[in-house]
Amino acid sequence: MRSFKLFQSTFLVTGCAALLALGLGGTARAQPAGGAACNPAADGSNPCPRKLHLHTQQPLSTMATVGKAMFFDPALSGSGKFSCASCHVPSLHYGPAGKTSVFMGGVTGDREGRREIPSLTYLERQPPFSIGPDDAVADDVAPTIAVPVTGGAHAAKSASNTASSAANLVPQGGLFLDGRADTLHQQASGPMFDPDEMAGLPEKVTARLQT
């Protein structure tokens, strides 16, 4: 148990620090316009684009350097062949390589993942999972519902009826494609120990980190 706690305190902290330090995101600032003015134009273009301001690249801290090494280390997997970077390729915005929608992993490389591999580019900006009013402009802050939700049918959503469908509540935020994790700490060990992905074992990972 003590060894596994050592793994948690090392991997889940250094791995998360490395993802942030590698420059996977920036600060997005919304343009002044909002509401109906930001609905898609007739030609499908976005009238209210958000400008991305990337953080200035900084030297990696010691902890982030360790986390980066772990991100690229195949020895942490059950097969010794797959690292985090095997699925999340840095040159492809930390998204998948190849034309297949899922990754073949597991101890022998013949286990098929259950979902498509997401990009990690904006991972640190993802808000916690919530169900609340849809906001077409700002999706990086969990919504707050100020009034009780009452029963009754809601209008179907489309690009042209935002006023009548404004009361619609939608699931949003969270990590993994179903939002089941709210923090990078909760998310990090999922792929590491999934038998269909990296298929690592806690004791093997702990031993690797200790050496």
pLDDT number for residue 2 = 53
pLDDT at 37 over 50: yes
- Tokens for 58? 């900084």
Q: Answer whether 30's CB lies under 8 Å from 48's CB.
A: yes
| Residue range 126-147: mean pLDDT, rounded | 66
Could you report the per-residue pLDDT of 38-67, keeping only the tens digit for each? 888 899 899 988 888 878 888 999 999 998
25 vs 113, which has greater pLDDT? 113
pLDDT at 132 over 60: yes
- Tokens for 64? 């982030």
Percent of the chain residues past pLDDT 70, beyond the cut: 67
pLDDT at 4 over 80: no
Backbone angles phi, psi at 15, to 5 degrees: -65, -45
How far from 123 is each of 26, 82, 163, 175, 205, CA to CA, in Å? 10, 21, 31, 8, 24
The one-letter code for the residue type at 70 is: M
| Planar angle of CA 211, 14, 194, nearest 5 degrees | 80
Could you report the per-residue pLDDT of 138-182, keeping only the tens digit for each? 655 555 544 444 445 555 666 666 665 556 678 888 888 788 888
Q: Token match 């919504």: residue?
A: 143
pLDDT at 86 over 50: yes
Tell me the pLDDT band of 135, cut-offs 50, 70 and 90. Answer: low
Mean pLDDT of the chain: 76
